[in-house]
Amino acid sequence: MKFPQDEVTSLIINATHCYSSQFPHVYFDTVRSMNQLVHCTINFPTRRFEISDTRQPIILPFLQSLTLSTGWDVDTGYDAAFFRCLYAPLLKDLHLINESQNHMEFVKQLAEFRARSAASLSSLHLSSFFGATISGKDNMFCITSLWLHVMHNGRAT
Protein backbone atom coordinates (compact mmCIF):
# COMPACT_ATOMS: atom_id res chain seq x y z
CA MET A 1 0.00 0.00 0.00
CA LYS A 2 1.24 3.45 -0.89
CA PHE A 3 -0.32 6.31 0.98
CA PRO A 4 -1.36 9.38 -1.06
CA GLN A 5 1.12 12.21 -0.72
CA ASP A 6 -1.39 14.54 0.93
CA GLU A 7 -2.39 11.87 3.44
CA VAL A 8 1.20 11.27 4.50
CA THR A 9 1.91 14.98 4.78
CA SER A 10 -1.22 15.39 6.88
CA LEU A 11 -0.12 12.50 9.11
CA ILE A 12 3.24 14.15 9.76
CA ILE A 13 1.71 17.57 10.37
CA ASN A 14 -0.89 16.19 12.76
CA ALA A 15 1.77 14.28 14.66
CA THR A 16 4.01 17.31 15.03
CA HIS A 17 1.14 19.47 16.25
CA CYS A 18 0.04 16.82 18.75
CA TYR A 19 3.58 16.27 19.94
CA SER A 20 4.34 19.98 20.20
CA SER A 21 1.37 20.44 22.51
CA GLN A 22 2.83 17.80 24.86
CA PHE A 23 6.45 18.93 24.66
CA PRO A 24 6.50 22.64 23.75
CA HIS A 25 10.27 22.85 24.27
CA VAL A 26 10.77 20.45 21.34
CA TYR A 27 10.22 22.40 18.16
CA PHE A 28 9.58 21.57 14.53
CA ASP A 29 10.51 23.39 11.37
CA THR A 30 7.68 23.83 8.89
CA VAL A 31 6.56 20.78 6.97
CA ARG A 32 6.32 21.65 3.28
CA SER A 33 4.41 19.75 0.61
CA MET A 34 4.93 20.53 -3.06
CA ASN A 35 4.51 17.73 -5.57
CA GLN A 36 6.74 15.00 -4.09
CA LEU A 37 8.56 17.20 -1.59
CA VAL A 38 8.13 16.80 2.14
CA HIS A 39 10.68 18.14 4.57
CA CYS A 40 10.56 18.39 8.32
CA THR A 41 13.21 18.99 10.93
CA ILE A 42 12.42 17.84 14.46
CA ASN A 43 14.72 19.37 17.04
CA PHE A 44 14.98 17.43 20.29
CA PRO A 45 17.12 18.70 23.17
CA THR A 46 19.74 16.04 22.39
CA ARG A 47 19.24 15.23 18.71
CA ARG A 48 17.66 16.34 15.47
CA PHE A 49 15.57 14.31 13.04
CA GLU A 50 15.61 15.18 9.35
CA ILE A 51 12.67 13.97 7.31
CA SER A 52 12.84 14.68 3.60
CA ASP A 53 11.94 13.20 0.26
CA THR A 54 11.90 14.81 -3.17
CA ARG A 55 11.49 12.07 -5.76
CA GLN A 56 9.94 8.82 -4.54
CA PRO A 57 6.78 7.63 -2.77
CA ILE A 58 7.12 8.98 0.72
CA ILE A 59 6.89 6.13 3.26
CA LEU A 60 10.15 4.25 2.70
CA PRO A 61 12.26 7.36 1.98
CA PHE A 62 10.70 8.90 5.08
CA LEU A 63 12.29 6.11 7.07
CA GLN A 64 15.54 6.08 5.13
CA SER A 65 16.07 9.79 5.76
CA LEU A 66 15.15 9.69 9.46
CA THR A 67 18.64 10.13 10.89
CA LEU A 68 19.98 10.77 14.37
CA SER A 69 22.54 13.51 14.85
CA THR A 70 23.37 12.35 18.39
CA GLY A 71 23.03 9.23 20.52
CA TRP A 72 19.72 7.56 21.23
CA ASP A 73 18.55 8.72 24.64
CA VAL A 74 16.02 6.12 25.81
CA ASP A 75 15.43 7.79 29.16
CA THR A 76 13.76 10.99 27.99
CA GLY A 77 10.54 9.52 26.64
CA TYR A 78 10.47 12.16 23.91
CA ASP A 79 10.89 9.65 21.11
CA ALA A 80 8.14 7.27 22.17
CA ALA A 81 5.71 10.12 22.67
CA PHE A 82 6.37 11.51 19.21
CA PHE A 83 6.04 8.14 17.52
CA ARG A 84 2.81 7.47 19.37
CA CYS A 85 1.46 10.67 17.83
CA LEU A 86 2.77 9.80 14.40
CA TYR A 87 1.55 6.20 14.33
CA ALA A 88 -1.76 6.66 16.14
CA PRO A 89 -3.91 6.50 12.97
CA LEU A 90 -2.18 3.25 11.96
CA LEU A 91 -1.95 1.48 15.32
CA LYS A 92 -5.47 1.48 16.71
CA ASP A 93 -5.74 -2.29 16.45
CA LEU A 94 -2.31 -2.94 17.93
CA HIS A 95 -3.14 -1.44 21.32
CA LEU A 96 0.20 0.37 21.35
CA ILE A 97 -1.29 3.81 21.82
CA ASN A 98 -1.75 4.14 25.55
CA GLU A 99 -0.96 7.32 27.44
CA SER A 100 -0.15 5.38 30.60
CA GLN A 101 2.63 3.39 28.96
CA ASN A 102 6.18 4.36 29.72
CA HIS A 103 8.85 4.51 27.05
CA MET A 104 10.38 1.09 27.65
CA GLU A 105 6.99 -0.62 27.65
CA PHE A 106 6.26 1.03 24.31
CA VAL A 107 9.58 -0.24 22.94
CA LYS A 108 8.88 -3.72 24.34
CA GLN A 109 5.51 -3.92 22.60
CA LEU A 110 7.05 -2.75 19.35
CA ALA A 111 9.70 -5.46 19.71
CA GLU A 112 6.99 -8.07 20.16
CA PHE A 113 5.21 -6.75 17.10
CA ARG A 114 8.46 -6.90 15.15
CA ALA A 115 8.94 -10.55 16.08
CA ARG A 116 5.40 -11.44 15.00
CA SER A 117 5.56 -9.52 11.74
CA ALA A 118 9.15 -10.19 10.64
CA ALA A 119 8.20 -13.03 8.31
CA SER A 120 5.96 -10.76 6.26
CA LEU A 121 8.57 -8.07 5.67
CA SER A 122 10.13 -8.20 2.25
CA SER A 123 13.87 -8.82 2.04
CA LEU A 124 14.15 -5.88 -0.35
CA HIS A 125 12.76 -3.47 2.21
CA LEU A 126 14.95 -4.94 4.93
CA SER A 127 18.16 -4.74 2.92
CA SER A 128 17.43 -1.25 1.64
CA PHE A 129 16.97 0.29 5.06
CA PHE A 130 18.14 -1.62 8.11
CA GLY A 131 21.82 -1.93 7.27
CA ALA A 132 22.28 1.78 6.69
CA THR A 133 20.47 3.39 9.58
CA ILE A 134 19.69 1.14 12.54
CA SER A 135 23.17 1.11 14.07
CA GLY A 136 22.11 -1.30 16.81
CA LYS A 137 19.33 0.88 18.15
CA ASP A 138 16.67 -1.72 18.79
CA ASN A 139 13.77 0.65 19.37
CA MET A 140 14.28 2.32 15.99
CA PHE A 141 14.53 -1.15 14.42
CA CYS A 142 11.12 -2.01 15.86
CA ILE A 143 9.54 1.19 14.66
CA THR A 144 11.00 0.74 11.20
CA SER A 145 9.73 -2.82 11.01
CA LEU A 146 6.27 -1.56 11.82
CA TRP A 147 6.31 1.02 9.05
CA LEU A 148 7.60 -1.46 6.50
CA HIS A 149 4.96 -3.95 7.57
CA VAL A 150 2.27 -1.31 7.10
CA MET A 151 3.63 -0.35 3.69
CA HIS A 152 4.05 -3.95 2.54
CA ASN A 153 0.66 -5.23 3.66
CA GLY A 154 -1.43 -2.10 3.69
CA ARG A 155 -2.40 -2.35 7.34
CA ALA A 156 -0.84 -2.75 10.76
CA THR A 157 -2.17 -6.18 11.68
What are the pLDDT digits (tens) for 7-52?
444 555 555 555 455 544 444 444 444 433 344 454 544 445 454 4
The ranges assigned to domains in the chain are: 5-153
Q: For residue 15, what pLDDT is reported?
A: 52
- C-beta of residue 65 within 8 angstroms of C-beta of residue 52: yes
Q: Is the pLDDT of residue 118 over 50?
A: no
First to last CA, the chain: 13
3-class DSSP state for residue 44? coil
Q: For residue 134, what pLDDT is reported?
A: 29
Q: For residue 58, what pLDDT is reported?
A: 36
Query: Structure pTM?
Result: 0.25
Closest CA to 156 of 78, 80, 83: 83
Q: Distance between CA 115 and CA 110 in Å, rounded?
A: 9
3-class DSSP state for residue 62? helix
Q: For residue 17, what pLDDT is reported?
A: 53
Which of 43-62 are b and which e, b meaning 16 or more Cβ less than 10 Å from the residue's Cβ?
A: ebeebebebbbeeeebbbbb
Closest CA to 22 of 76, 74, 72, 82: 82
